[in-house]
Structure 1
Amino acid sequence: MKITAIETVPYAIPYTKPLRFASGEVHTAEHVLVRVHTDEGLTGVADAPPRPFTYGETQASVIGVIERIFAPQLTGMDVLAREPVHALLHRTVGNPAAKAAIDMALWDIAGQALGLSVTRLLGGWTDRMRVAHMLGFDSPERMAAEAERMRDTYGITVFKVKVGRRPTRLDIDVCLKLREVLGDGAELYVDGNRGWTASESAAALRELDRLGITLAEELCPADDVLGRRWLVRQSSVPFVADESATTPAEVTRSLLDGAATAISIKTARTGFTHSQRVLFQCEGMGAEVVMGNQIDGRLGTVCTVAFGAAHASSSRRAGELSNFLDMSDDLLAEPLVITDGTLTVRDRPGLGIAIDDAKLARYRQDH
C-alpha cells in the first residue's frame, strides 16, 4: 500500500475561555488537520497543534513543511516502511508537530488495513485511562470552581495546576484553595512552564509539600543547568521534564544530568513511533512517565489515550485527556465521553474516528 498524497487543512476553533500559563496564552485552537491518502483507498488522519511559544511551529510552518518537503519525499512510499519514512523526516530539523501528525496518520492506516485498533497494534495493555484535567491561570476561586465542576460532572479527581506566576504567592494560594475545596481525595500536581527561578521553585515546593502534590513539572528553565540540578535533587516528588525533553536524546540527557526524574510524553510532538521509543527509554532507566497534553482537541486526545492505554507504564498515572472540553466545538463526528473520571479507547480499526465534513467546512481557513 503506497502513499499517494498528504493533505493539510488549517482550521481554527475558539476556546470557551483563554487558557493561560507561564509561557503564554491561547484563545483559539489554530491547528492543522493532516490526512495521508493511499492507493488502496484508505486515509489516515491526525492533528497537528502548533505551539509557537514552545516549539516554534505555526500553522503556516506546519503546512509549508508538509506540502513543500515531506509530501514530495514520502509520496510513493510504502505505508508500513516506518523506518525509511522516519529517516526522511529526520533529515529536516525541528517541526515536531508536523512529523508527529504524519506518523500517527500512518499508524491509523495500518490499523485500518489490519482491522485492529492502534492501541492493540502498539501493545494493547488496557482499554481506558484515568483522566487528569489541566487548570490554567486564574483566581483561586475560579480555578477551584472549575475543578469542582470537573469532579462533579465528569468524576475527574486528578488536576494539573498551572503555576509559574510572579509573585509566587498567587500560585501557592491557588493550590491551598484547591486542597480546601477538593479535600484529600483529589490528586494535585503542578506545572510551571519554566516560569520560576530555581530558588523560587524550591521555596514553593517546601510549601506545596504539605498539600501532598504528586508531581512537579518544568518549574524552572532546564537551561539553568546548575539551578535545575540543585532543585531536582531536593524535590520530594518526581520532577517531570516536558518541553525540555522532546527527543530521545534530550530525554537521556535530562535523566542522566539530574535535570528530571520523570518524563512527559506527548503524542502531538513525538507521534506514536518516537513516543514508544521515549517510553522504552524511560522504562529502561527507571523513570516514570506522564501522558501530557499539547492543548489537544478531541482528535489529539484520541491519539493520546490510544497510546497511553497501550502500555502498562504509560497508563499507570492519569493522562491529561480533558482539555478538549475547553473548546467551543470540534471536528469529530462522534464526541468523546469522560465517565467516572476515565476515558475509553475506541475499539475500532485504526484510530476509530470520522471527521464531520460540515464542521470542517465551517472552521477551515484555506477557502
Structure 2
Amino acid sequence: MKITRVEAIPFAIPYRKPLRFASGEVRAAEHVLVRVHTDDGVIGIAEAPPRPFTYGETQAGIIEVLDSIFAPQVVGLSLLDREVVHARLARTVGNPAAKSALDMAIWDALGRSLDVSVTELLGGYTDRMRVCHMLGFDEPAAMVAEAERMRATHGITTFKVKVGRRPVSLDTAVVRALREHFGDGVELYVDGNRGWTAAESARAMAEMADLGLLFAEELCPADDVLGRRWLVSRLDVPFIADESAVTPADVTREVLGGSATAISIKTARTGFTRSQRTHHLAEGLGLEVVMGNQIDGQLGSLCTVAFGAAHELTARRAGELSNFLDMSDDLLTEPLRVTDGELAVRPGAGLGAEIDPDKLRRYRQDR
C-alpha cells in the first residue's frame, strides 16, 4: 500500500448560470482531479476546487504545488502513514485545496485497498445526510422559484441564502419572500461572505428577526475584531465562522474571542484528516457544525457527505451538498442524485466513485 505516483489533472466544466455571492462570481468549475497511485495498482481520487478570491489558490498553482512540492514528499509512504503525510504537508504554508485533495485521495485509496468505505473508516455514524441548497444573488421572485424547483424536484427543504449586498434591504426582502412563500415548511439561514460591516449586519438581522433563521454565517469580516464581537454578542442565532475558522487554531481563536458560536467544516479545504481534528474540537467546545461547500463538483460533494455522515455531530444538520446541480456536466460514471432531500453515501470501497474516461478526455485542459 505504498504511494508511487500523484497526478494533478486540470479540467473545466461550465455552470448552467453564474454563481454570484459577495466575494466573487464563478462561471465554470475550473478544478483539479487528483489521483494517488499505489504499488498495488489501487488509485484513490479527489477533487481540488481553487477559490482565488477566498484562499488565493488557482488551478495552475494547485497543479504546480502538487507536482513540485507535495508529490515528492508523499511518494514512497504507506497509505497508513497519514500523520506523516499531514506533518509533511503542514510544512508548506497555505494551499488548502491542494493539501485537502491529496489527503482525501489517500483516504480513498486506503478504503479501496482495505475494501472499506471512507465513511466507515472515519466513524460510520450513518449512510446519508439531508441536503441544504445555496441560493445566490437574484430578485426575490427568482430565488423563490429556484427554491420551489429544488423542493419539488429533489425534496430539499433547507436553504442557505447568500447575502451581503448593499443596501441590506435587497437581501432581507429575498429572505422575507422565501419565508412568506414557504411558511414553516423550510429551514433558512443566511451567509454574507464578509460582505457587510458589523453595523449593516446588525441592521439586517434586526429586519429578519421574525423570520426564524437557523444561523447567520460570516456576515462581516473577521479582521473587524471589535465590530464582530459586538455583532455576535447581539445575535440570538448561532453565528457560523467559515473562511475565518479553517484550522483548529482558528476555531479556538474565533470562539474563545467571542467572534463565533458555530463553525462550517469544508472537506475541500481541510480534507478528512484536518476536518476530523476540527470536528473533535467543535464537539469538545459544544459548537453547532454545518458541512459547508466550496462550490464542489460531484466528487467533492461525495467527499463532503462521506465525512458528514461519518459523525453524529455533522449529520444533525443539512449539509451544503447540492452545488453540483448547477453544473452542466460532471466526471463521474454514475451521477449523484438527491432524493427526498437526502444525499446518500456511495456503497463500496473508498468513496465509491469512478471517473468516466470519456468525460475526463472531454473536459481536461492539459491535452
Q: Identify the TM-score tier after normalising by the shorter chain.
A: over 0.9
In the alignment, the residues of structure 2 paired with residue 29 and residue 22 of structure 1 have an alpha-carbon distance, to the nearest angstrom, of 18
CA drift at 1:78: 1.1
Q: Secondary structure at the match of 1:176?
A: helix
Query: Which residue of the partner structure matches residue 298 of structure 2?
Result: 298
In the alignment, the residues of structure 1 paired with residue 178 and residue 212 of structure 2 have an alpha-carbon distance, to the nearest angstrom, of 12
State yes or no: 1:101 paired with 2:101.
Answer: yes
Query: Which residue of the partner structure matches residue 86 of structure 1?
Result: 86
In the alignment, the residues of structure 2 paired with residue 280 and residue 85 of structure 1 have an alpha-carbon distance, to the nearest angstrom, of 20
Structure 1 residues 274-353: aligned runs within 5 Å:
274-353=274-353
In the alignment, the residues of structure 2 paired with residue 36 and residue 266 of structure 1 have an alpha-carbon distance, to the nearest angstrom, of 21
In the alignment, the residues of structure 2 paired with residue 84 and residue 320 of structure 1 have an alpha-carbon distance, to the nearest angstrom, of 30
Query: Which residue of the partner structure matches residue 209 of structure 2?
Result: 209
Query: Which residue of the partner structure matches residue 241 of structure 1?
Result: 241
In the alignment, the residues of structure 2 paired with residue 209 and residue 108 of structure 1 have an alpha-carbon distance, to the nearest angstrom, of 43
After TM superposition, the runs of 4+ consecutive aligned structure 1 residues lying more than 2 A away are none
Deviations 1:115-167 (A, max 9, x none): 11100110000111000000011111111110000001111000000000011
Structure 1 residues 82-161: aligned runs within 5 Å:
82-161=82-161
| Amino acid corresponding to residue 295 of structure 1 in structure 2 | I
Query: Which residue of the partner structure matches residue 54 of structure 2?
Result: 54
Deviations 1:269-298 (A, max 9, x none): 000010000000000011110000000110
The sequence identity of aligned pairs, in percent, is 71
TM-score (norm 1): 0.99
Query: Which residue of the partner structure matches residue 73 of structure 1?
Result: 73
Q: Secondary structure at the match of 1:5?
A: strand
Range 6-15 or range 172-181, more displaced: 172-181
CA drift at 1:176: 1.0
Query: Which residue of the partner structure matches residue 15 of structure 2?
Result: 15
Deviations 1:219-241 (A, max 9, x none): 00000000000000111110000
In the alignment, the residues of structure 1 paired with residue 72 and residue 272 of structure 2 have an alpha-carbon distance, to the nearest angstrom, of 22
CA drift at 1:347: 2.1
CA drift at 1:207: 1.4
Q: Secondary structure at the match of 1:339?
A: coil
CA drift at 1:43: 0.5
In the alignment, the residues of structure 2 paired with residue 209 and residue 358 of structure 1 have an alpha-carbon distance, to the nearest angstrom, of 50
CA drift at 1:192: 0.0
In the alignment, the residues of structure 2 paired with residue 125 and residue 77 of structure 1 have an alpha-carbon distance, to the nearest angstrom, of 29
In the alignment, the residues of structure 2 paired with residue 179 and residue 191 of structure 1 have an alpha-carbon distance, to the nearest angstrom, of 16
Q: Secondary structure at the match of 1:249?
A: helix
State yes or no: 1:38 paired with 2:44.
Answer: no
Query: Which residue of the partner structure matches residue 163 of structure 1?
Result: 163
| Amino acid corresponding to residue 283 of structure 1 in structure 2 | E
Task: Structure 1 unaligned segments of length 5 or more: list them.
Answer: none
Q: Secondary structure at the match of 2:15?
A: strand
| Amino acid corresponding to residue 45 of structure 1 in structure 2 | I
| Amino acid corresponding to residue 81 of structure 2 in structure 1 | A
In the alignment, the residues of structure 2 paired with residue 71 and residue 106 of structure 1 have an alpha-carbon distance, to the nearest angstrom, of 12
State yes or no: 1:225 paired with 2:225.
Answer: yes
Range 341-350 or range 186-195, more displaced: 341-350
CA drift at 1:73: 1.4
Q: Secondary structure at the match of 1:196?
A: coil
Q: Secondary structure at the match of 1:354?
A: coil
In the alignment, the residues of structure 1 paired with residue 76 and residue 286 of structure 2 have an alpha-carbon distance, to the nearest angstrom, of 40
CA RMSD of aligned residues (A): 0.6
Deviations 1:173-225 (A, max 9, x none): 10011112222111000000000000110111111120111100000000000
Range 53-62 or range 110-119, more displaced: 110-119
In the alignment, the residues of structure 1 paired with residue 208 and residue 187 of structure 2 have an alpha-carbon distance, to the nearest angstrom, of 13
CA drift at 1:354: 0.4
| Amino acid corresponding to residue 102 of structure 1 in structure 2 | L
CA drift at 1:33: 0.2
In the alignment, the residues of structure 2 paired with residue 63 and residue 110 of structure 1 have an alpha-carbon distance, to the nearest angstrom, of 23
TM-score (norm 2): 0.99
Q: Secondary structure at the match of 2:212?
A: coil
| Amino acid corresponding to residue 125 of structure 2 in structure 1 | W
Q: Secondary structure at the match of 1:189?
A: strand
Range 124-133 or range 177-186, more displaced: 177-186
How many residues matched?
367
Q: Secondary structure at the match of 2:208?
A: helix
| Amino acid corresponding to residue 224 of structure 2 in structure 1 | D
CA drift at 1:10: 0.1
| Amino acid corresponding to residue 344 of structure 2 in structure 1 | T
Q: Secondary structure at the match of 1:129?
A: strand
Query: Which residue of the partner structure matches residue 4 of structure 1?
Result: 4
Query: Which residue of the partner structure matches residue 175 of structure 1?
Result: 175
Q: Secondary structure at the match of 2:185?
A: coil
In the alignment, the residues of structure 1 paired with residue 290 and residue 157 of structure 2 have an alpha-carbon distance, to the nearest angstrom, of 16
Q: Secondary structure at the match of 2:151?
A: helix
| Amino acid corresponding to residue 113 of structure 1 in structure 2 | S
